[in-house]
Amino acid sequence: MDERQFSALFDEHFAEVWRFARRRTDEADDVASDTFAVAWRRRHDLPAEDDLRLWLLGTARRILANQRRSTGRRQRLHRRVEVAAVALPTEPDPADVVADREADPLLAALATLSGADRELLVMRAWDGLSVTDMATLLDVTPNAVSLRLHKARARLAAALDGTDAPASRTRPRRPHDSEGGAS
């Protein structure tokens, strides 16, 4: 694959990768750039076109997870005398992204869910992924995705109503709790 061909690939998939990142971080440009950097390095070893979309989203997902871990470590470094007292960016978190837009009570309810629930609902409602695609990205069976999505939806509805879902109560958010981790 030469530069011209890679540019065409970039043009075709950029919008979806950027939006996927934007739903999860304020640094979507960086995540998109890093995602396509991985693709460029592996341009001779990329999956076939049918699988490329999910491969790119999976790569973006790993980069987002690394970004959160790195930010967490940087914050720990900051506390350990070594790093100067200069403000660092806070940990990106989908809940924070949606919290910025809490004018709608549905977003406020979404922000109260666990990271795993949020990721499932965001994948479905915002990324527009099918259950099969979600199963591929999360490395679980489609049946497991369907079941978890059903429960997550119930908890979202309960949170919107201001009541707890009957099972698997919403747990309080912890730092670094934003990774999907639906397994």
Partner 1 sequence: MTEPDPLLDRLAGLDPARSDRLPEPGSDRHAEILERAMRPSSNTSRRRTVRLLAAAAVVLVAVAAVLTFGPDGSRLSPAAALTRAAERTGDALTLRSDYLRDRGDGTFTLIRSEHHGADVRRRFFTVDADGTERPGEEGDDFIAYIGDRGWTAEAPDEPLRVDPSERNAPYAESSAAIVDAVSGAPVTDLGVDDVRGADATHYRIGLDDAARRRLGDLPPNQRSAFELEAPDQIRSLDVWIGDGYIRRLRVTQEFEPAGSLGTTVEFYDFGADITVTPPG
Q: Which residues bind partner 1 (CB under 8 A)?
A: 3, 6-7, 10-11, 14-15, 18-19, 22-23, 28-29, 32-37, 39-40, 66, 69-70, 73-74, 76-77, 80-86, 88, 97-98, 100-101, 104, 106-107, 110, 121, 124-126, 128, 131, 146, 149-150, 153, 156-157, 160
Output 148-157 pairs: Cβ under 8 A, ≥24 positions apart: 148/116, 148/117, 148/120, 148/182, 149/120, 149/121, 149/124, 151/117, 152/113, 152/116, 152/117, 152/118, 152/120, 152/121, 153/121, 155/113, 155/117, 156/106, 156/109, 156/110, 156/113, 156/117, 156/121
Min CB(49)–partner 1 separation in Å? 19
Cβ-based nearer residue to partner 1, 19 or 53? 19
Task: Please name which of 129, 128, 155, 144 lies closest in space to residue 181, comparing C-alpha atoms.
Answer: 144
| Residue matched to tokens 């199963």 | 135
Written as six digits, the tokens of 71 are 């930010």
Cβ-based nearer residue to partner 1, 37 or 175? 37
Cβ-based nearer residue to partner 1, 73 or 169? 73
Cβ-based nearer residue to partner 1, 45 or 82? 82
Cβ-based nearer residue to partner 1, 132 or 169? 132
Min CB(19)–partner 1 separation in Å? 4
Min CB(108)–partner 1 separation in Å? 11
Min CB(48)–partner 1 separation in Å? 20
Task: Please name which of 82, 99, 81, 78 lies closest in space to residue 26, comparing C-alpha atoms.
Answer: 99
Min CB(123)–partner 1 separation in Å? 11
Q: What is the CA radius of gyration of the chain?
A: 18
